[in-house]
Amino acid sequence: MKALKALLVSAATCAAVVAAPVLTAAPASGTTTDEAEGVKTITLHGDRIAYRDEGRGDVVLLIHGMGGSSKTWSGVIPLLAKRYRVIAPDLLGHGQSDKPRGDYSVGAFAVVLRDLLDELGIKKVTVVGHSLGGGIAMQFAHQHREYCDRMVLISSGGFGDDVGRVLRLLSLPGSEFVLPMVASRPAVAAGNLLRALAGSAERFATKPALSNRDHRRAFLRTLRSVVDFHGQAVSAINRLCCSDDLPTLIISGDKDRVIPVEHAHAAHATLPNSRLHVLPGVHHHPPTEEPEKVADLIGEFLTAA
């Protein structure tokens, strides 16, 4: 246990801790969502789902990554909402949505997204996923192909074993006892200092959300459903047999150390009806690092013949 603790704390100070650059604490039970931020809520199967719903027109469904929330898309939503209706949920276990004890597999997330669309009366979407959200997007297309017009994968896993060392370490038994330290401000500040000394442009701002038991439990359940100590444990390749004709845009940063850009090339090679755009100098978070570019690429893709 001491060795595990040392490994985790060491890793926390020198790498990107989780898949989102901003982590926010869950609201207390009974707290209403922040209407000033345009967040709405809906109850599905007894669980509260928070989501953003902006714009009019054809629907774009934005799915954030592990440890993130709809805030991942804060810079992208206003740009897309000028021409499209944008739906951006907080996945269960994330953001302002409930954090029940339950199934946090990509298949379960896909079912909840389908049910959300049904409740909103939406029949067709372009499904967009970042990081883990890309895996969920592919699972959604596999399970519910009739809902999908197009698909966008951003820094998406599922095409190889590689994943950041920190996430592999956090998948180990016992990580729940040291995870609050991983997300603490001193650890993040130390990591930012080391990245600055190394010349990295990545910066992470965090609140100690993962010190919250429910948030931590949901995060670890989500992580362990797709990652183990050896790397990514779930492959998307065998889920694409029913959607290999789906028009797909693949976006990746060439500096991504969480999901290396080679995964994007593998996705492009696997999906015959895909196009690939690699962003120079961008790391694992294109929606927050280059929101205007991401919105432009999605817009161009949606208007292409």
> How many whole angstroms separate alpha carbon 117 and alpha carbon 124?
9
- Residue at 115: amino acid letter: D
Tokens 């944008």 belong to residue: 86
- Residue 45 annotated among the catalytic residues of the structure: no
DSSP string, 26-63: PPPTTPPP-GGGTEEEEEETTEEEEEEEE--SSEEEEE
Choice among 131, 155, 225, 252 that is catalytic: 131
* From 64, 94, 283, 284, active-site residue: 284
**Alpha carbons 13 and 186: distance in angstroms, whole number:** 9
Verify whether residue 284 is a known catalytic residue.
yes
> E strands of the chain, at which residues?
22-23, 39-44, 47-54, 59-63, 85-89, 125-130, 148-154, 205-206, 227-228, 231-232, 248-253, 274-279
The angle, 0 to 180 degrees and rounded to 10, between the axes of the packed helices 132-143 and 213-226 is 60
Q: Angle at which helices 132-143 and 106-119 pack, to 10 degrees?
A: 70
Give the three-state DSSP class for 110. helix
From 53, 90, 98, 256, the catalytic residue = 256
CA pair distance 170, 184, nearest whole angstrom: 15
Burial class (CB in 10 A: 0-12, 13-18, 19+), 26: buried
Question: Known catalytic residue: 34?
Answer: no
Q: Which residues are catalytic?
A: 131, 256, 284
